[in-house]
Amino acid sequence: MAIGVSAWFDPESEQRIRKIWRCLHEQGINSTLHLGPYRPHITFGIYDSLDVNKFVPDLSAELKNLGPLQFILPSIGIFSEPLSGFLNVTVFHQLLNIHGIIHRVMAAHGAGPVPYYLPGHWNPHCTLAPDLVKEKLSYFAEFTAGLLLPIEGVIDRVGVIDTPAEIELNEVKLR
């Protein structure tokens, strides 16, 4: 069981992304996120192990003076391995700040960080089509070229998830 820590969105932004997931499913491009137990998010970090009972109160204390953060998803991107499509995230100072805080607290209570999410290596994104098959890539590109971007919204919570089961363990509200 690995533990992920992610940015969760305001309800309106979450619904916009869920609508994209549903359209990707209905068009036969990718159904993973629409059919699964997933919540739209931006992953801050994943650790092989994390003492959630110590992590959550410490993170709450660290974030107590941070209010909700604005986010912008301005464009589409592709990861080649595994092949997946996503929305890019505009990186603001506040987003990098909270990312650094989260990793400092995770490091104090966890072990085995996934390197892709560490400060200095992080490529923040909101996944639309994980494990995209190559034969569907052109359809994904055509569909996403028609999206009305950017998507702008608010990160109002930081979620703690048992992954890959996607069991939501806890959340820290940004006030």
CATH code for the domain in which residue 88 is found: 3.90.1140.10
Peptide bond into 82 cis (omega under 30): yes
Buried b / exposed e along 127-157 (16+ C-beta atoms within 10 A): bbbbebeeebeebbeebbeebeeebebbbbb
Q: Output 88-95 pairs: Cβ under 8 A, ≥24 positions apart.
A: 88/124, 88/125, 89/42, 89/124, 89/125, 89/126, 90/150, 91/124, 94/66, 94/69, 94/70, 95/69, 95/71, 95/124, 95/155
Residues belonging to the chain = 175
Number of domains comprising the chain: 1
The pLDDT tens digits along the chain (175 residues) read 799 999 999 999 999 999 999 999 999 999 999 999 999 999 999 999 999 999 999 999 999 999 899 999 999 999 999 999 999 999 999 999 999 999 999 999 999 999 999 999 999 999 999 999 999 999 999 999 999 999 999 999 999 999 988 999 999 999 8
8 A C-beta contact, residue 3 and residue 162: yes
pTM of the model: 0.95
Domain hosting residue 87, numbered range: 2-173
Which tens digits make up the pLDDT trace of 26-43? 999 999 999 999 999 999
Other Cβ atoms less than 10 A from the Cβ of 80: the count is 6
